[in-house]
């Protein structure tokens, strides 16, 4: 295994960027099916509730991996875990290429969840550790931007290919397999950052742990991540159906663009965090997120596209501010030996946010209709974000404990 101290200088300098690129490619695979759900519904004939269940299976995979092996990279090293994540992502793409039933769609989403679970905490820690000295703040942005940017590029890529190129249920996954092959080769060239890493075969299931130093900042960080990811979960699961049935928008490239807008805004929101400071970015992000929820409610109530696009922009920016603030607070408080586990624990909470509310929308869409179910969702998440913001503002006024 390559040691960081003996890596070639060029690889050492650009290593965090290469790791971020692989991170983005892996995460793009998790949202690649978003504009394609309508095509799968036409071929397989399932309901909106089934769409949300298929989507939630992905979150189950993420949470399961994070809970069982979320901190394994702290002992066996970052690189082997990321290589396993890329392999799971490739397996997911292969299953989607063969998908002719809801069961196979669920299996593809589960494998996709495994890949995201392996990458989310470990990839973030790896990018931070590969960054040159003195570039920690910038590397934090690179890591979270790779995460959110990758999630946004997935639906944009598949939307464009499925709308304007042949074989709409084949070409997006074939292209993604090619990108994964390049990412796998890049990751093999990267150095390991965990001193004394043990062989991968020695990995054992273990829940993510929270060192005492992290616990004070974890609750506010986790609540902000939950609220922000819940909005992104709605955009990536049921927004294509709302665009089609509620607004008459059936162009898959446009559907992908709307979803991409939310993740792009998240990346832009992260750029504001260095000026605000990570602690202040979390409550301010909650405030902006509430505005995004209000715009979402307006779009659902009036069946209008412009408020939906504004909701993606405003809500995405709030989510990005909160996420980068949360990652910065948790990573900064965690000792190096437990950083991967602490970040994995943070993303466990975030992915509960991306799954539970979305299933609720699916369950309510039957008796209430999709638009009214979305209004209930927006009201609940706005209330949660408001409570979180008030709690975080109060916490900021309290003196920090002595180290």
**pLDDT for residue 10:** 47
**pLDDT for residue 172:** 97
**pLDDT for residue 205:** 62
**pLDDT for residue 200:** 65
**pLDDT for residue 352:** 85
- The mean pLDDT values, 10 residues at a time, for the chain of 403 residues are 44 78 96 91 84 84 84 86 96 96 96 93 89 77 86 95 96 98 95 79 66 81 84 78 81 92 91 81 86 87 89 92 85 81 83 80 80 80 75 60 44
For residues 62 and 353, the answer to whether their CB atoms sit within 8 Å is no
**pLDDT for residue 153:** 95
Task: Please tell me whether the overall predicted TM-score, pTM, comes out greater than 0.85 for this model.
Answer: no
Alpha-carbon gap, residue 217 to 5, rounded angstroms: 32
**pLDDT for residue 6:** 41
- What are the distances in angstroms from CA 4 to CA 193, 194, 332? 6, 9, 21
């Amino acid at each position: 295994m390559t040691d960081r101290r003996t890596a070639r200088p060029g690889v050492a300098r650009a290593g965090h960027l290469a790791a971020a690129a692989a991170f983005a490619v892996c995460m793009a695979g998790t949202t690649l099916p978003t504009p394609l759900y309508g095509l799968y519904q036409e071929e397989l004939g399932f309901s909106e509730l089934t769409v949300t269940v298929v989507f939630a299976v992905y979150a189950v995979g993420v949470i399961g991996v994070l809970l069982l092996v979320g901190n394994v990279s702290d002992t066996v090293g970052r690189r082997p875990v990321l290589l396993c994540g890329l392999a799971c992502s490739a397996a997911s793409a292969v299953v989607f290429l063969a998908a002719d039933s809801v069961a196979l769609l669920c299996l593809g989403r589960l494998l996709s969840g495994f890949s995201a679970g392996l990458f989310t905490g470990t990839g973030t820690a790896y990018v931070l550790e590969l960054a040159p000295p003195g570039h920690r703040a910038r590397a934090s942005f690179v890591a979270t931007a790779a995460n959110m940017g990758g999630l946004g590029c997935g639906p944009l890529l598949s939307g464009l290919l499925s709308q304007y190129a042949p074989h709409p249920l084949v070409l997006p996954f074939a292209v993604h397999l090619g990108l994964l092959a390049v990412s796998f080769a890049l990751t093999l060239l990267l150095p390991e950052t965990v001193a004394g890493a043990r062989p991968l075969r020695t990995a054992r299931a273990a829940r993510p742990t929270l060192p005492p130093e992290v616990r004070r900042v974890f609750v506010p960080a986790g609540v902000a991540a939950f609220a922000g990811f819940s909005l992104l979960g709605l955009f990536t699961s049921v927004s294509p159906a709302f665009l089609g049935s509620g607004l008459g928008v059936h162009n898959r490239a446009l559907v992908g663009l709307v979803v991409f807008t939310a993740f792009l805004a998240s990346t832009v929101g992260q750029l504001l965090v260095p000026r605000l400071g990570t602690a202040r970015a979390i409550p301010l992000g909650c405030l902006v997120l509430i505005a995004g929820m209000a715009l979402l409610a307006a779009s659902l109530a009036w069946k209008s596209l412009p408020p939906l696009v504004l909701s993606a922009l405003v809500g995405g920016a709030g989510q990005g501010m909160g996420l980068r603030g949360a990652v910065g607070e948790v990573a900064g408080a965690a000792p190096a030996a437990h950083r991967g586990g602490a970040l994995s624990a943070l993303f466990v909470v975030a992915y509960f946010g991306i799954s539970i509310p979305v299933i609720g929308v699916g369950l309510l869409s039957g008796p209430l209709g999709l638009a009214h179910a979305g209004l209930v969702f927006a009201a609940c998440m706005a209330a949660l974000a408001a409570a979180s913001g008030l709690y975080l503002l109060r916490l900021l006024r309290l003196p920090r404990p002595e180290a």
